[in-house]
Chains A and B, each alone.
Chain A
Amino acid sequence: MNYENIFEASVEIICDLKDFDEDEVKGDMTFEQLDLDSMDFIELQVVFRKKFGVNMESEVFADGKVSTIDEMCHYVLELRQAA
């Protein structure tokens, strides 16, 4: 599992959640730009746990440590490597 795998999966999920086309989703897009709401975040957490076996903490989104797709992918990768 590497960054590219995680990024591809993220784009797929986000496209499904928000009806974006794949080429519209860029790594530096913020969650605000993606218009993710609280239920979308819960779904992301659930999907990532099932797909990658990682528990994304709500706090990293809340305090802004993770605020773009790129940052989320790196965070997931860190969690994977730490597991």
Chain B
Amino acid sequence: MDRQAWFAMSTEIKNWDAIFVGAGITSLACAALLAKKNPGIKLLLVDKHIVAGGYASVFSRPKANATFDCSLHKLSGMQHQGNLQRIFEYLGLDNALELVYPEDYFCSFFDDHSLPLPNDANGVEKLLCKQFPAESKGIKTFFEQVRTFGRNGYYQFQMQEGSFEPDIAQLRYAHKNLKNITVEQGLDELFDDQKLKEILAAPGIYVGGYPEDLGYLYYLHVVYATLNKGNAYVKGASQNLSNTLAKQIEDAGGKIQLGTKVEEILVDDNLCVKGIQTKRGNFYSDRVYVNVSPHYAIEHLFDEKIDFTDIKEKLRALKPARSTTTVYLTTDCSPQELGVIHSESMIFSSQLCNAAVQRKAAELNDFDEQLSEEAFWKHSPMEVTNYYKLDSAGGYVICLNVLDSIKHWPMRRTQPYREKKQRAAEIMTQRLINHVPQLEGRINYSEVSSPHTYVKFTNNTDGSGYGAMVSTDLSGHLFHRKFPVKGVEFVSAWVAGPSYEAAFGYAEMKAKKWRAA
């Protein structure tokens, strides 16, 4: 359907059953679940970007013969009884999509050796006990914590609705003793070996936090989700998943309007939502799901006369997770031939103990540029994904990722910004080459996405790709309670938590509550 025909039809529908502001993965999942459960439901998703999916999207560089995936490659919970696997089966995505199950969780690279971790929890536990025999008691305790407390956190949506009953004593112990400490503190209590601590803390990169950032109890659930419940990659990249969901929604009669910025969420005099305003016209519904950063939504999407004093106060406590700086590379032949043999690697600095100290020093010095580049780019763990190994159709693609801060980046479209991107590419690429020397001279394309790039495409606060930081302070996470505008609900990583699994799980919970509100 062309744009004019679509617009003519859209304006004929005076009242949508629900409108989604933003067509990110949580919106797509929620709308697909609603459409499946409620045949005939009229759903409208509106996004300013030209493709659906939010971060779960790709961009192509035909001259480099490459398609780059913007999203994390690891979909957790993809084994039997995994939450995501279950929802995929319900939506028929397990048949519609081809999944790749990597053999390694990731390979750890230190200066003097590398250590591939198998993609199962028992295997990792055994391997680490063998590699770090003096720490075996702590390793067993850690994985027991993952199996009990991590598992309880993993099934929290089911716990809320009563289909999963935890042991109350375990729950109480975890909430009293593990919720209020950071990953750094939790691992320090168990271990002395810095290399081991770095390996165990590394999956924090999947949720946008360093060990000093993340709450330990929450983190145990991240390990449980990604390691104990299996992980997979979608062939055709994240865009394939997003497009498949989009097709399900449209096949069920819903509409996805891309390239359309929502200018305002319309509210009546009784503080009930009534629709949205866009440059293509107004669209009406008494239920609007907001799939954007709450800070952005409050600041830009509502009439300034609405009193959001309480919400703004709560949002001050809702800190964004770290943003990322990503270097997208292509090589002139298969990355495996050049020595990048694992689908995912974590490269650790030779100055292991200094990484956290340097990050804290950078922050204390107002994110001084030089200190920040040293801390985030040179000495913090760098994740390397060999996308070619996961799906050769995207080209000879490797991505390098570090968690970063927008605060030391100059504004886009300035010379200092361009120079900084160049430095990021050089420093991060060199780190990889130091471990895989055969790559020298074999990289034929390089492109950098900075935290500002993510702001441009998603409006996420400070470019966070993971929503809110899940730290030891959870007070801001209930910002949406007693929201003053009736009919508005938030769906995104900002309320669900980062990861596909959290997005789908939260979307499922929202879809189950349909009509209950």
Measured in the bound complex, the distance between the Cα atoms of B488 and A63 in whole Å is: 10
Closest residue of chain B to A57 (Cβ to Cβ) is: B516
Give the distance to chain A from B172, nearest Cβ to Cβ, in Å: 7
Task: Given the known inter-chain contacts A37-B475, A46-B165, please indicate yes or no for A67 contacting B175, CB distance below 8 A.
Answer: no
Give the distance to chain A from B332, nearest Cβ to Cβ, in Å: 49
A47 touching B475 by the CB < 8 A rule? no
Across-interface contacts of B478 in A (CB, < 8 A): 37-38, 41
B168 interface residue (CB < 8 Å to A): yes
B480 interface residue (CB < 8 Å to A): yes
B475 touching A50 by the CB < 8 A rule? no
B168 touching A50 by the CB < 8 A rule? yes
B160 touching A67 by the CB < 8 A rule? no
Measured in the bound complex, the distance between the Cα atoms of B475 and A37 in whole Å is: 6
B481 touching A43 by the CB < 8 A rule? no
Question: Interface extent on A, as a size class?
Answer: 20 to 34
Within 8 A of A (CB), among B496-517: 513, 516-517
Give the distance to chain A from B360, nearest Cβ to Cβ, in Å: 25
Measured in the bound complex, the distance between the Cα atoms of B175 and A42 in whole Å is: 10
Give the distance to chain A from B178, nearest Cβ to Cβ, in Å: 10
Interchain pairs with CB closer than 8 A, number: 51
B168 touching A46 by the CB < 8 A rule? yes
Give which listed residue, A35, A41, A55, A64, contacts B161 with CB less than 8 A. Answer: A55
Measured in the bound complex, the distance between the Cα atoms of B156 and A67 in whole Å is: 22
Give the distance to chain A from B177, nearest Cβ to Cβ, in Å: 13
Give the distance to chain B from A17, nearest Cβ to Cβ, in Å: 7
How many residues from B make CB contacts under 8 Å with A? 24
A59 interface residue (CB < 8 Å to B): yes
Across-interface contacts of A50 in B (CB, < 8 A): 165, 168
Across-interface contacts of B96 in A (CB, < 8 A): none
Closest residue of chain B to A62 (Cβ to Cβ) is: B481
Across-interface contacts of B480 in A (CB, < 8 A): 62
Across-interface contacts of A61 in B (CB, < 8 A): 481
B477 touching A38 by the CB < 8 A rule? yes
B175 touching A17 by the CB < 8 A rule? yes
Measured in the bound complex, the distance between the Cα atoms of B179 and A40 in whole Å is: 10
Across-interface contacts of A45 in B (CB, < 8 A): 159-160
B175 touching A43 by the CB < 8 A rule? yes
A8 interface residue (CB < 8 Å to B): no
A59 touching B513 by the CB < 8 A rule? yes
A64 touching B160 by the CB < 8 A rule? no
B475 touching A39 by the CB < 8 A rule? no
Across-interface contacts of A58 in B (CB, < 8 A): 160
Measured in the bound complex, the distance between the Cα atoms of B72 and A3 in whole Å is: 49
Closest residue of chain B to A55 (Cβ to Cβ) is: B162
B341 interface residue (CB < 8 Å to A): no
Across-interface contacts of A17 in B (CB, < 8 A): 175
B166 interface residue (CB < 8 Å to A): yes
A49 interface residue (CB < 8 Å to B): yes
Measured in the bound complex, the distance between the Cα atoms of B487 and A62 in whole Å is: 12
Closest residue of chain A to B482 (Cβ to Cβ) is: A64
B168 touching A63 by the CB < 8 A rule? no
Task: Given the known inter-chain contacts A46-B159, A55-B162, A58-B160, please indicate yes or no for A39 contacting B481, CB distance below 8 A.
Answer: no
Measured in the bound complex, the distance between the Cα atoms of B481 and A17 in whole Å is: 20
Within 8 A of B (CB), among A36-80: 37-43, 45-47, 49-50, 55, 57-59, 61-64, 67
Across-interface contacts of B482 in A (CB, < 8 A): 62-64, 67
Task: Given the known inter-chain contacts A58-B160, A59-B516, please indicate yes or no for A40 contacting B481, CB distance below 8 A.
Answer: no
A35 touching B160 by the CB < 8 A rule? no
Measured in the bound complex, the distance between the Cα atoms of B479 and A62 in whole Å is: 9
Give the distance to chain B from A60, nearest Cβ to Cβ, in Å: 10
Task: Given the known inter-chain contacts A42-B159, A64-B482, please indicate yes or no for A37 contacting B474, CB distance below 8 A.
Answer: yes
Measured in the bound complex, the distance between the Cα atoms of B477 and A62 in whole Å is: 12
Measured in the bound complex, the distance between the Cα atoms of B477 and A38 in whole Å is: 7
Measured in the bound complex, the distance between the Cα atoms of B160 and A53 in whole Å is: 13
Across-interface contacts of A43 in B (CB, < 8 A): 171-172, 175
Give the distance to chain A from B163, nearest Cβ to Cβ, in Å: 10
Measured in the bound complex, the distance between the Cα atoms of B171 and A59 in whole Å is: 22
Closest residue of chain A to B509 (Cβ to Cβ) is: A58
Measured in the bound complex, the distance between the Cα atoms of B171 and A55 in whole Å is: 18
Give the distance to chain B from A80, nearest Cβ to Cβ, in Å: 15
Across-interface contacts of B166 in A (CB, < 8 A): 46
Measured in the bound complex, the distance between the Cα atoms of B480 and A64 in whole Å is: 10
Give the distance to chain B from A74, nearest Cβ to Cβ, in Å: 18
A40 touching B175 by the CB < 8 A rule? yes
Give the distance to chain B from A35, nearest Cβ to Cβ, in Å: 7
A64 touching B168 by the CB < 8 A rule? no
Give the top 6 A-B pairs by smallest Cβ distance, nearest first. A64-B482, A37-B474, A38-B477, A62-B481, A55-B162, A38-B474
Interface residues of B, Cβ cutoff 8 Å to A: 156, 159-162, 165-166, 168, 171-172, 175, 179, 217, 474-475, 477-478, 480-483, 513, 516-517
Q: List 5 A-B contacts (CB under 8 A).
A: A37-B475, A39-B175, A46-B171, A55-B162, A59-B517
| 11 more CB-based (< 8 A) A-B contacts, given A38-B474, A63-B482 | A16-B172, A35-B475, A38-B477, A43-B171, A45-B160, A47-B168, A57-B516, A59-B516, A61-B481, A62-B482, A63-B481
